[in-house]
Amino acid sequence: MKSRIFILIGPPGAGKGTQAKNIANLKDFVLISTGDLLRENVEKKTELGITAKSYMDKGELVPTELVARMIKANIKQNIGRNGFLFDGFPRDLAQNALLSEMLKEFNLDVDKVIYIDVKDEAIHERLTNRRICPKCKKVYHMKYNPPKHGELCDDCNVSLIIRDDDKIDVIKKRLEVYHKSTQPLVDYFEKSGRITKINGERTPKEVEGEIISNI
């Protein structure tokens, strides 16, 4: 069976990570999330993670060569599965060219790109109100999904934290980088006719339903 390839793109804070995990489970896809891969390396303080963190903390993109090796190994390990869902890669035209070359080695190509569209103002509200449990990694939103007791995790009873890349100055930088690097990629996929735009400013279930109907 030939694996199908799907790419999920959108601005930081658009909900790509949550949607990608849910859809991968529902459709039995292999999830390739560069964000998760990089955060795992940061937490384990691997050589790759230490280098990557210096970029992530400033809101800059992690150099492609630091993640390409992990991605290729993941594809090789899971070739023949129902499909692959990419979250966080490619982020620009150069990464897309690299991904195309990788996929050719496995006789694969991109089937569909899903673009979750969220305005900058909504992104700021989402990210500045996001809190993470440092122990169980559960995600809260202080306005829409607050913890039951102050800023303590409901399950672990430990103080929630703000991710370094959710701070206001870093959010601004992340959005600047996104518009400069990723918008040309969106334009490229629009010309190829393989992209579907989805309004990401609705409930997660509504967004999920539309993504499912388009893959």
pLDDT in tens, 151-201: 999 999 999 999 888 888 888 998 998 899 888 999 999 998 889 999 999
Extract the tokens encoding 122. 């909504």
Query: Are 142 and 131 a contacting pair, CB within 8 Å?
Result: yes
Band of pLDDT at residue 83, cut at 50, 70 and 90: very high
Q: Which residue has the higher pLDDT, 98 or 64?
A: 98
pLDDT score of 135: 92
Angle value at C-alpha 207, between 205 and 212, nearest 5 degrees: 90
Mean pLDDT value across residues 50-78: 83
Mean pLDDT value across residues 59-81: 83
Query: Are 116 and 198 a contacting pair, CB within 8 Å?
Result: yes
pLDDT score of 152: 95
pLDDT score of 1: 67
Mean pLDDT value across residues 85-101: 91
Euclidean distance between CA atoms 48 and 38, whole angstroms: 8
Q: What is the strand order of the sheet 112-117 is part of?
A: 30-33, 83-87, 4-9, 112-117, 195-199
Single-letter amino acid code for the residue at 87? D
Euclidean distance between CA atoms 109 and 102, whole angstroms: 9
pLDDT at 70 over 80: no
Euclidean distance between CA atoms 164 and 215, whole angstroms: 33
- Residues recognised as catalytic: 16, 91, 130, 163, 174
pLDDT at 39 over 70: yes
pLDDT score of 119: 93
pLDDT score of 96: 92
Angle value at C-alpha 203, between 202 and 209, nearest 5 degrees: 95
- Domains in the chain (CATH in brackets) are 4-118+177-213 (3.40.50.300)
pLDDT at 125 over 80: yes
Which of 162, 132, 164, 131 minimizes the C-alpha distance to 57? 164
Mean pLDDT value across residues 115-131: 91
pLDDT score of 51: 87
